[in-house]
Structure 1
Amino acid sequence: MSNQDSTILWTSEEIANAVKGQCGADFNITGVQIDSRAIEPGDLFIAIKAERDGHDFAKSALNHGAGGVLISDNEVIGSSQNYVLCDDTMLALESLGAAARRRALITKRIAITGSVGKTTVKELTSAALSASGKTHKSVKSYNNHWGVPLTLSRMPINTRYGVFEIGMNHTGEIALLSPQVKPHIAAITTVAPVHIEHFGTIEAIADAKAEIFLGIENGGYALIPNENPMSKRLKQRASDIDNLNIVTFGMKQNADAKITRLIDNGDYRIIHADIMGKNIEWRVSEPGDHWIHNGLCAITLVHLAGGDLEAAASVLSNFGALEGRGAVKTITTKDGVEFSLVDEAYNANPTSVAAALRTLANRHGRRKIAVLGDMLELGDKENEYHAELIDAVLKSNVDLVFLAGSRMKYLWDLLPANKRGNFAYNSKELLPRVLESVQSGDCIMVKGSNGSHMNVIVAGLANLKNDSLKN
């Protein structure tokens, strides 16, 4: 049975060949899942053994419309023959991803990592490349040991560009993932003290990020942030690899891809850039210099991948912030109070919080209010990192600061009385204190590490559109 229908992602025979398994029957697959709760009709369910054994949910996945299952024990699914039997389902997922990579012969693959901005750059790059050809990308932040091979396994055979996000919080993780993607181009957005708890030094973080170069195809490109303090170290790591081309991007004129002019028109900025000798311009409507940096990285990746720069610039000019990463909503309550909510609740570290505070200062609003939760995985100096945010808070000239978490208490103790909104040891306790402070015309930015659950406050503020404020 061969895959002739463009809507078919895999046939059972192709899956069995890829994973060196055995088919129970002939069937076709239109998608791949490892979470039985996300099954859509026609999906392949791969029963991964992790904290919970996916085999416990294989029969349920079939009952909910899965086209077939990839399992190491066919007794768990009863009488169904829609299975491929293998020895190790995690290894099989990786093998299926490798098969997808090999069969999409015209694909240019791009891998992106970095301490800050990798998801945004991934979204910018994939959107910009979509104007040049069929583009496949990591969904959400599927960037770990299962997310990368899962993204690969979902890549259609006629993909022109593949854009993959690769993350890590320990040494050696990217070294295992980059060779799975075998990117033609790999980019590091930036290096900052994120997950420093597991590394000890910023140099160790840079070395871990540089592992992405290990998987680059012969003659490929390493894209490095020119002005980052670790730039020289990253270049050295890249230069240790034979036949690897090093390209830099940044604001200074010695970068290979650089900003040549910036025009601020108030509501938006026009960016003029020289991308390795090609002049291009695009518009940035979002505040914050990180949007310029991330856009420059993305459009350089488009150029290196052979995409249409003019079409890419047009896409970037109409790109907005992502949910959890700067998306802005206007909330109007039943009693007519209107305010802006800036959702930065997906993640946080000292670099990104300082950037978010700078951006908040440039947003429209009668009062600028920052609601911050703990930054996690910062190691022995975590309390110091939180206290040092006082400089960014004072420079941003925000009107009020609300803080959640035991680590943020170190910042709270340093805040001037006129900046203090309120403090609580968790986001749930802080929520009502934030809600009762809201006034019409406010601009409220919420940010914290995912584990500090600042999404609780985002949801509470967003739900005010259905309620009246009880001031």
Structure 2
Amino acid sequence: MMLWTSDEIALATGGTASEPFEVSGVTFDSREVGPGDLFLALKGESTDGHRFLDQTFAQGAAAAIVSQTTTYPHIFVEDTTAALDALGVAARGRMGGKVIGVTGSVGKTGTKEALFAALDRNDPGCAHRSVKSYNNHTGVPLSLARMPRTARFGVFEMGMNHAGELAQLTRLVRPHVAIVTTIAPAHMGFFASEAAIADAKSEIFQGLEPGGIAIVPFDSPHRDRLIAAAKPHADRIVTFGMGEDADFRAVETMRTRTGGTFVTARFGDRELSFTISQPGAHWVSNAMAILAAVDAVGGDLELAGLALAEMGGLAGRGARLLVPTGDGEALVIDESYNANPASMRATLEVLAHEPGRKVAVLGEMRELGEHSDAFHAELSGPVEAAGVDYAILVGDAMAPLAQALEGRIDFVHVPDAATARARLESVLAPGDAVLIKGSNGVRLSTLVAALAERVPA
């Protein structure tokens, strides 16, 4: 499907086209380029996309946006990063449907993916979302630039680790609906307090379109702070959660035999019962936010419930693998993409409900600043409460947790993912339930990838 013409790209970016062409995709990662794609030759601190032009055209690129001379089909601009922003703005400008923005300390990607699944089920082929965790100053405009002109729904994840970042991103996205999933002590190394994180997350409301709707967590201690921040920008504020006065509230929950949750939700004078396939109490809260957003854009809530029932696990965020070991299999819960104190607690609670020996491979949590030692040590309670039989603690920052667990459970403290992999493979046994979670920089995803290689194709 044609995504952009050369004339449209040139008009959006203020660039000059070398010749007429059409593209069917957009990327700035040379490894992702496929037939028909537009390649943006971005210049970074350590690399320059112009170095990869031969490679990308060999892979089938249709054209490039460049700021240096080339003989390949291209749009010439002064600044390729500014051109990416401009293309994102143009994509948002031609989109006539509804746009939802998602942020929060925990649950952004899962909520974004579930919202996409719900809206795609509502109107197949007409929903668009940011892929992976493309939620920063380059990922957001790229996700916008990839949005088809026929899209009726767009769902965009927005992240930040400094004040002011979300304000810029939300003005690109211009959401009709803005969600804050939850506030937790992530990136505490860059903020004075959790309340300051709430203030930074609430910047998402600044980009709301006229008549926009803000969706905030009712059960958060920062609820009133978020509501106050939303009021100048939102036409309506909707709350979600477990509390009795939440606008979208889970009134009954029951864990299913497969680890998910059967939920009865109440909103206004309506009720809806459905199953959430993803395990964990945090998904119940996420589901209430998802229902609120689907309702806000006029989607079908019953179809949203079906989508939540059928949603599979996300790589790095809850995907489950049955890995051959010995004469049987072990369950691996892949939470390797990222970690903060709140998400660690939530996933340890998921592990608690699994049968068999419980093994936790826990990587250090980064960007916690002066609070790092305390936050790591405080995980000892959730680890014990989960009934962890054996823990592999990875990274120097895990030392306070190792000290807190001394004499309480069986564990080993190792320096890196490679050592953790060797230790896990030496003890893995049939029937084990293994949680793998840590900050992305610890690279526990390499451990998951190694285990996945055991799974028959």
TM-score, structure 1 as length reference: 0.93
Cα deviation per residue 1:125-165 (whole Å; 9 max; x = unaligned)? 00000012210000000000010000111111110100000
> Does 1:233 pair with 2:225?
yes
Out of 379, 396, 399, the residue aligned to residue 406 of structure 1 is: 396
Deviation for aligned residue 1:249: 0.3
Look up the equivalent residue of 1:41 and give its one-letter code: P
Within 1, Cα distance between the matches of 2:11 and 2:54? 23
What do you get for the CA RMSD once the two structures are aligned? 1.5
Query: 3-state SS of the aligned residue for 2:57?
Result: helix
Deviation for aligned residue 1:276: 4.1
> Larger deviation: 417-426 or 114-123?
417-426
> Does 1:280 pair with 2:275?
no
> Does 1:61 pair with 2:56?
yes
Match of residue 171 from structure 1: 163
Look up the equivalent residue of 2:55 and give its one-letter code: S
> Larger deviation: 41-50 or 63-72?
63-72
Deviation for aligned residue 1:50: 1.2
Within 2, Cα distance between the matches of 1:20 and 1:229? 46
Where does 1:360-371 land on structure 2 (aligned, <5 Å)? 360-364=351-355, 366-371=356-361
Look up the equivalent residue of 2:419 and give its one-letter code: E
Where does 1:305-316 land on structure 2 (aligned, <5 Å)? 305-316=297-308
Out of 9, 13, 32, the residue aligned to residue 15 of structure 1 is: 9
Match of residue 27 from structure 2: 33
Deviation for aligned residue 1:277: 3.8
> Larger deviation: 453-462 or 435-444?
453-462
Q: Is the 8 A contact 1:275 1:303 kept in 2?
A: no
> Does 1:266 pair with 2:261?
no
Cα deviation per residue 1:369-426 (whole Å; 9 max; x = unaligned)? 1110100000101011101111111221221111111111111112143622322111
Deviation for aligned residue 1:265: 4.1
Out of 349, 356, 361, the residue aligned to residue 358 of structure 1 is: 349
Look up the equivalent residue of 2:61 and give its one-letter code: A
Where does 1:366-405 land on structure 2 (aligned, <5 Å)? 366-405=356-395
Within 2, Cα distance between the matches of 1:265 and 1:18? 50
Within 2, Cα distance between the matches of 1:71 and 1:427? 38
Match of residue 323 from structure 1: 315
Within 2, Cα distance between the matches of 1:394 and 1:263? 24
Cα deviation per residue 1:230-281 (whole Å; 9 max; x = unaligned)? 111111111233x531110010121111112223443343211123443212
Look up the equivalent residue of 1:312 and give its one-letter code: A
Deviation for aligned residue 1:464: 4.3
> Larger deviation: 341-350 or 272-281?
272-281
Q: Where does structure 1 differ by over 6 angstroms across 4 or more consecutive aligned residues?
A: none
Within 1, Cα distance between the matches of 2:55 and 2:209? 40
Query: 3-state SS of the aligned residue for 1:37?
Result: helix
Could you say if the C-alpha distance between residues 287 and 108 of structure 1 is closer, same or farther in structure 2, counting changes exceeding 3 Å? same
Query: 3-state SS of the aligned residue for 2:192?
Result: coil
Q: Is the 8 A contact 1:422 1:430 kept in 2?
A: no
Look up the equivalent residue of 1:60 and give its one-letter code: Q
TM-score, structure 2 as length reference: 0.96
Within 1, Cα distance between the matches of 2:357 and 2:291? 35
Cα deviation per residue 1:5-62 (whole Å; 9 max; x = unaligned)? xx11011011111111111100111000111221111111111111212122234322
Q: Is the 8 A contact 1:262 1:269 kept in 2?
A: yes
Give structure 2 stretches of 5+ with no counterpart.
Answer: none
Match of residue 152 from structure 1: 144
